[in-house]
Amino acid sequence: MLIKDAQAQVDHWIKTVGVRYFSELTNMAILTEEVGELARIMARKYGDQSFKESDKNKDLADEMADVLWVLICMANQTGVDLTEALEKNFEKKNIRDANRHKDNEKLKS
């Protein structure tokens, strides 16, 4: 699925099933909540924390998709074309970080 298709599908779902978008600030709070849920799983699966019984059935991919969904909602309601934004971000990183990581002693094995 292309990013523009995802944006269109989310928009269609919101307008038909979801009734309307939540406010931008509400979606920002929801995004923060979803990132927190993702962080909880990451800390337990890849970090030093142990799983709580209530966290054992949580799906990492589903939590990532929740974060992406809300981010797409925010992009749609603020007029951001995520494809264009990501392309510009790659350009920025390719210029700014062309040698930054290669020259980072901490990243050399």
Mean pLDDT rounded to a whole number for the chain: 94
pLDDT higher than threshold 80 for residue 109: no
Measured CA to CA, the distance from residue 108 to residue 102 in angstroms comes to: 8
Q: Give 105's pLDDT tier (boundaries 50, 70, 90).
A: confident
Residue 86 near residue 80 (C-beta atoms within 8 A): no
In percent, the amount of the chain with pLDDT more than 90 equals 77
Question: Across residues 19-28, what is the average pLDDT?
Answer: 97
Element (H, E) at 50: none
pLDDT higher than threshold 90 for residue 78: yes
Task: Give the position of tokens 């709580």.
Answer: 52
Asked whether the whole model's pTM tops 0.85, one would answer yes
pLDDT higher than threshold 90 for residue 15: yes
Measured CA to CA, the distance from residue 106 to residue 100 in angstroms comes to: 11
